[in-house]
Structure 1
Amino acid sequence: MKMLYIKHRSGKVMNNFAISAILAAKELGIDFTIANNMSMADKEHFVQVCKRYEIQMVHIDFDRNPLGKSNFLARKQLLDLMAKEKYDIVHCNTPSGGVVGRIAAAQAKIPKVIYMAHGFHFWKGAPLKNWLFYYPVERILARLTDRLITINREDYACAQRFHYKRGGSAAYVPGVGIVTKRFESNAEERTKMRKALGIKEEEIVLLSVGEINQNKNHKVVIKALAQIGRKDIRYVICGIGSLMEANQQLAESLGLRNQVMFAGYRTDIDKFYQAADVFVISSFREGLPVALLEAMSAGLPCVASRIRGNVDLLSDSRLLFEPRDVNGLCNALMEGIDKNIAEKEVKRNYQTLPRFSMEEAVKAIKQIYTDMINELSTIG
């Protein structure tokens, strides 16, 4: 049994979406190949991943934009690969991988096609243009799909209304799978990391992790920090992106130069969770955020924008806020800093986490792969 796993690009390291799929496939003895754009990848890391899991990896010239010109070349590359390798199952991910991959799979007559939505680009409260473009595309391409996997309840409800290939359907998988032990709190590590960062023990550290772009909306946190006006609160942002300079300028203009730290791209994120007191995620759109799951695993109270994905994980409305509401965020941050409230929130988070573990994700994906294999056996 041969499977082609398609995503538009690799980050510097392998993400949990791919790892959980690899583990599920290997348990079933599936020959597994990943096709994606490797231009940004840490090549040495991926060579080691391929050796460890005994998988193959192929570069495809995907563009992040589904309408990008290079995706025409990507479709041809996929068709050539599919014709040569004769895969039984194709598992597509992300908008570009989902569009180009499913069209190519249909043209190549691949028997079984899976698409995993990491968060539809249309959601409650999304801009009208997103609904006008992405919704019809997903609805049409569902007809080329045997199983559409969603990772949050809002997307699952929407996907259930689509029409699929004969016998096809929507499925819900609880997230991407997180290895909780990596992020367990450690007092010694906390002290060491705070010292390395130049943060005093009595200071309160807010932490955000993710690409610095418009969607992640770090500026609302910076504005809230200025409005709160407390000098003992530091805000650390781990990540890089197109709006990094703009956010630095905003912090400077608000007199927060010494309170906002831009830590850049980090491979030691677990140490930053140890050093923090409150995690903040202020995005406009998420599927099911890995960073939020990691923060929950690290025992941090989490303040989050009230959006799809975040609300699947957090239940305390006092720690939720509307993405553009600076006043609401100020209130939520003060609640998160309160030790009594934080302690209750952390306990609730620990009760929630087991449903989103790597083991649960692998179990759910393995069942979907098993269903595809069983359906193939009845066909052929």
Structure 2
Amino acid sequence: MKKLLFISNISNSVGSFAVASIEAAKRCGFKFYYASNWDAATEEQMAADEKKYGVKLFHMDLDRSPYSTKNIKAYKQLVDFIKKENIDYIHCNTPVGGLLGRLAGEKCHVKKVMYQAHGFHFFDGAPKKNWIIYYPIEKWLAKKTDVIVTINNEDFERARTFKLRNSGHVYYVPGVGMDLSQYNIPDTVREIKRNELNLKETDFALISMGDLIDRKNYKIAIEVVAKLNNPNVHYFICGKGPEEVDLKKLAENLGVKEQVHFLGYRNDIKELLKAADTFLFTSKQEGLARSLMEAMASKIPCVVSRIRGNTELICNGVSGFLCINEDEYISSLEKLIESSNLREQFVEKSYENLKNFSIEKVEDCMFDIYSKEFIKNDI
């Protein structure tokens, strides 16, 4: 039985990030190994996931920062594991996992190495330093890579300009796969959750999810809430991060402390989305945002930044609003607050488009790639 090693960064469970690849590998008859930093997972969780998904989990002391010396140890752990298990193929993900996976793959003479880019750090409009640092590194790593998979079209076109090992191939896959059935939340949940959030029937709830970091650009979202000057608008932020104190101070200074609610890390995102009226997403950079797809799956209208990835999920004025500045966010939200018909139109159109990013579609794509690259070319 051929052995496939799937590599990511930091994991607390086997989640949606890997499921489509696991199922595709099973269809190919591969044994699936999942390497990650599992410090956030309990032994019981790991054992349960191994049994549930039929995989083997391997811990490495990887750090999310590419500059951390811990990654030297993680690299050595990977090399030892690959040699011990006689791994045939590597499917590595994320910047650090992609770096270590490709270096270890070359060191161990793995038959084929695939890298799945979830959003290059160099992109149209990216800071110059991103291009100076990350672009040449990715071009260099491409020479150690047999297959590159991208999840948005901008990255796909750029990856096609790289010279891959053995004249390798570049593919586009629509994300990591959304299980739309998980978002069929009963309508009764909306009233229950809104009561928990102390929302009145006349209140209009905005919601965002993600780490409280500069890239997510919550600052502009809070400023937009203030400039709407509508006491019935409430904005719920799900997540934690280093900017939390400054963002709370900003909300207080702008006089919207009672309208901006920091909910921290939540396990009830699906229910919170059901309670919300609009998803507000002001991020500066994404590959293909899962949080946006979750909102679309939850059938709420979306007002999002006009960036790579978002433009593939939302058609401006048809299935949502794509915004560049504060004025556009404000006018877009005002239109949605005033028109339930527009909200319904956006929900219908965006959900129809989201079906193209379903887990079934992605699993089929990964199966085709695994079959072509790891089976047919290995005969």
Q: Counterpart in 2 of 1:215?
A: 215
Q: Counterpart in 2 of 1:229?
A: 229
Q: Counterpart in 1 of 2:9?
A: 8
CA distance in structure 2 between the aligned counterparts of 1:296 and 1:155, rounded to whole angstroms: 23
CA distance in structure 1 between the aligned counterparts of 2:378 and 2:178, rounded to whole angstroms: 32
Q: Counterpart in 2 of 1:98?
A: 98
User: Is the CA contact (8 Å cut-off) linking 2:304 and 2:321 kept in structure 1?
Assistant: yes
**Residues 137-216 of structure 1: matches in 2 within 5 Å?**
137-184=137-184, 186-216=186-216
CA distance in structure 2 between the aligned counterparts of 1:164 and 1:336, rounded to whole angstroms: 46
Which moves more between the two structures, 336-345 or 83-92?
336-345
Letter in 2 for 1:368: I
Q: Counterpart in 2 of 1:41?
A: 41
CA deviation digits over 1:211-233, x for unaligned, max 9? 11111111111000101110000
Where 1:303 maps in the other structure, the secondary structure is strand
**Residue 365 (structure 1) aligned with residue 366 (structure 2):** yes
User: Is the CA contact (8 Å cut-off) linking 2:13 and 2:49 kept in structure 1?
Assistant: no
Q: Counterpart in 2 of 1:352?
A: 353
CA distance in structure 1 between the aligned counterparts of 2:298 and 2:25, rounded to whole angstroms: 29
Change (3 A) 1:287 1:197: same
CA deviation digits over 1:136-174, x for unaligned, max 9? 111111111111000001101111111111141110001
CA distance in structure 2 between the aligned counterparts of 1:128 and 1:336, rounded to whole angstroms: 36
Q: Counterpart in 2 of 1:321?
A: 323
CA deviation digits over 1:328-363, x for unaligned, max 9? 211122233232222221121122011100000111
How far did 1:377 drift? 3.0
Q: Counterpart in 1 of 2:81?
A: 81
CA distance in structure 2 between the aligned counterparts of 1:42 and 1:336, rounded to whole angstroms: 43
User: Is the CA contact (8 Å cut-off) linking 1:319 and 1:336 kept in structure 2?
Assistant: no
Letter in 1 for 2:322: L
Which moves more between the two structures, 154-163 or 35-44?
35-44
How far did 1:56 drift? 0.9
Change (3 A) 1:125 1:178: same
Q: Counterpart in 1 of 2:283?
A: 283
How far did 1:185 drift? 5.2
Which moves more between the two structures, 150-159 or 367-376?
367-376
CA distance in structure 1 between the aligned counterparts of 2:264 and 2:67, rounded to whole angstroms: 30
Where 1:40 maps in the other structure, the secondary structure is coil
Letter in 1 for 2:347: V
Q: TM-score, normalised by structure 1?
A: 0.95
CA distance in structure 1 between the aligned counterparts of 2:64 and 2:21, rounded to whole angstroms: 21
User: Is the CA contact (8 Å cut-off) linking 1:183 and 1:273 kept in structure 2?
Assistant: no
User: Is the CA contact (8 Å cut-off) linking 1:235 and 1:261 kept in structure 2?
Assistant: yes
How far did 1:46 drift? 3.0
How far did 1:373 drift? 2.7
Which moves more between the two structures, 106-115 or 333-342?
333-342
Name structure 2 gaps, 5 residues minimum.
none
User: Is the CA contact (8 Å cut-off) linking 2:185 and 2:271 kept in structure 1?
Assistant: no
How far did 1:27 drift? 2.1
Q: Counterpart in 1 of 2:333?
A: 333
How far did 1:376 drift? 4.6
How far did 1:371 drift? 1.3
User: Is the CA contact (8 Å cut-off) linking 2:185 and 2:270 kept in structure 1?
Assistant: no
Letter in 2 for 1:7: S
Where 1:140 maps in the other structure, the secondary structure is helix
How far did 1:252 drift? 1.4
Letter in 1 for 2:323: F
Q: Counterpart in 1 of 2:312?
A: 312
Change (3 A) 1:6 1:155: same
Q: Counterpart in 2 of 1:21?
A: 21
How far did 1:194 drift? 0.3
Where 2:299 maps in the other structure, the secondary structure is coil
CA deviation digits over 1:165-213, x for unaligned, max 9? 1141110001110111222353211001101111112100001011111
Say what the alpha-carbon RMSD is for the aligned residues.
Answer: 1.4
Which moves more between the two structures, 328-337 or 272-281?
328-337
**Residues 264-275 of structure 1: matches in 2 within 5 Å?**
264-275=264-275
User: Is the CA contact (8 Å cut-off) linking 1:106 and 1:144 kept in structure 2?
Assistant: yes
Letter in 1 for 2:292: L
CA distance in structure 2 between the aligned counterparts of 1:72 and 1:59, rounded to whole angstroms: 14
CA distance in structure 2 between the aligned counterparts of 1:144 and 1:70, rounded to whole angstroms: 22
How far did 1:82 drift? 1.0
- Identity across aligned pairs (percent)? 39
Q: Counterpart in 1 of 2:109?
A: 109
CA distance in structure 1 between the aligned counterparts of 2:43 and 2:94, rounded to whole angstroms: 21
Q: Counterpart in 2 of 1:64?
A: 64
Where 2:212 maps in the other structure, the secondary structure is coil
Count the aligned residue pairs.
375
User: Is the CA contact (8 Å cut-off) linking 1:316 and 1:345 kept in structure 2?
Assistant: no
CA distance in structure 2 between the aligned counterparts of 1:276 and 1:47, rounded to whole angstroms: 35
How far did 1:43 drift? 4.5
